[in-house]
């Protein structure tokens, strides 16, 4: 099971709490997924008030508030401070967005905000790109987890830059890493785990599916399969065929 900031969680799935058809379906999807962490947007979910807070606290999983919708360092830091006061956790998924259409991270503001929040005692989970230099700066700022995107948030495109993600995983082998954003299908989730990532963060792929509960269960199964495949040391791909049936000792008839 993955470990973040010395805390072991029960599942490699982090599941978001936005966009579900109803609170009952949200709760059922979490139950089906076995998710170990629920991500909560303070800005998007605050409208639900105490009823929403009781709902997510009743899920029985660790809470990871996030700074979704923040575009500046000041916004992100202030939102994180509010989240810590409201939810009683130092964990924060740090988002600082630069591009409205792609919801891409503003990597310069992200590093600055991460440095400030780490200095304030937050345990920061930064939503970032797969850029090695950016990730190195985030680790130097005090982050102990990296959350590179697979593709733009809510796009369902999967893992857009396999080479970059492989290079990032290889560059920091001891750092817990989560693929955050872009996962649309169970096959995408399995592929992330096969690369050696520790967890996957999902929201739209489950919440907006025709049957969120069944999709949540499928994602959980895919994560388990992907992790098992990674741990089994799979064969490397090659361009030429390799016979699975040995030919040594076999008679050749002319």
* DSSP notation for 18-53: SS-S-HHHHHHHHHHHT-SEEEEEHHHHGGGHHHHH
Please report how the helices 23-33 and 212-231 are oriented relative to each other, as an axis angle in degrees rounded to 10. Answer: 20
**Is there a domain that residue 245 lies in?**
no
pLDDT of residue 251: 60
Tokens of 18: 């936005």
pLDDT of residue 160: 93
Per-residue pLDDT at 59 exceeds 60? yes
**Is there a domain that residue 238 lies in?**
no
**Is there a domain that residue 253 lies in?**
no
- Of 93, 123, 208, 250, the active-site residue reads 93
Q: Annotated catalytic, 166?
A: no
**Is there a domain that residue 247 lies in?**
no
pTM: 0.89
Tell me how far apart the alpha carbons of residues 102 and 97 are, in angstroms, rounded to a whole number.
Answer: 9
Domain range spanning residue 176?
Answer: 3-232
Tell me what the mean pLDDT of segment 19-33 comes to.
93
Number of structural domains in the chain: 1
**Is there a domain that residue 193 lies in?**
yes
By the 10 Å C-beta count (0-12 exposed, 13-18 middle, 19+ buried), 160 is classed as middle
Q: What is the mean pLDDT of the chain?
A: 91
**Is there a domain that residue 85 lies in?**
yes
Tell me how far apart the alpha carbons of residues 80 and 99 are, in angstroms, rounded to a whole number.
Answer: 21
Task: Residue 208: give its domain's CATH number.
Answer: 3.20.20.70
CA distances, 171 to each of 160, 174, 190 (Å): 19, 9, 21
Indicate the pLDDT class of residue 27, thresholds 50, 70 and 90. very high
- pLDDT tens for 88-124 read 899 999 999 987 778 899 999 999 999 999 999 999 9
């Amino acid at each position: 099971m993955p470990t973040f900031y010395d805390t072991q969680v029960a599942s490699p799935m982090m599941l978001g709490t936005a966009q579900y058809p109803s609170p009952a379906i949200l709760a059922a999807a979490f139950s089906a997924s076995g998710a170990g962490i629920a991500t909560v947007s303070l800005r998007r979910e605050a409208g639900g008030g105490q009823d929403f807070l009781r709902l997510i606290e009743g899920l029985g999983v660790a809470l990871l508030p996030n700074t979704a919708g923040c575009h500046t360092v000041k916004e992100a830091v202030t939102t994180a401070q509010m989240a810590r006061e409201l939810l009683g956790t130092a964990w924060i998924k740090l988002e600082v967005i630069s591009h409205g259409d792609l919801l891409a991270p503003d990597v310069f503001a992200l590093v600055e905000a991460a440095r400030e929040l780490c200095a304030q005692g937050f345990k920061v989970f930064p939503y970032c790109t797969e850029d090695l230099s950016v990730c190195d700066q985030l680790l130097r700022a005090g982050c102990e987890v990296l959350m590179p995107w697979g593709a733009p948030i809510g796009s369902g495109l999967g893992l857009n830059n396999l080479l970059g993600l492989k290079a990032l995983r290889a560059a920091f082998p001891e750092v817990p890493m989560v693929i955050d954003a872009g996962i649309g299908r169970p096959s995408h989730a399995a592929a992330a785990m096969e690369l050696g990532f520790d967890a996957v963060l999902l929201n739209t792929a489950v919440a907006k599916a025709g049957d969120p509960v069944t999709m949540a269960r499928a994602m959980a199964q895919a994560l388990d399969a992907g992790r098992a495949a990674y741990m089994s040391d799979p064969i490397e791909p090659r361009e030429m065929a390799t016979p699975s049936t040995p030919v040594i000792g076999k008679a050749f008839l002319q």
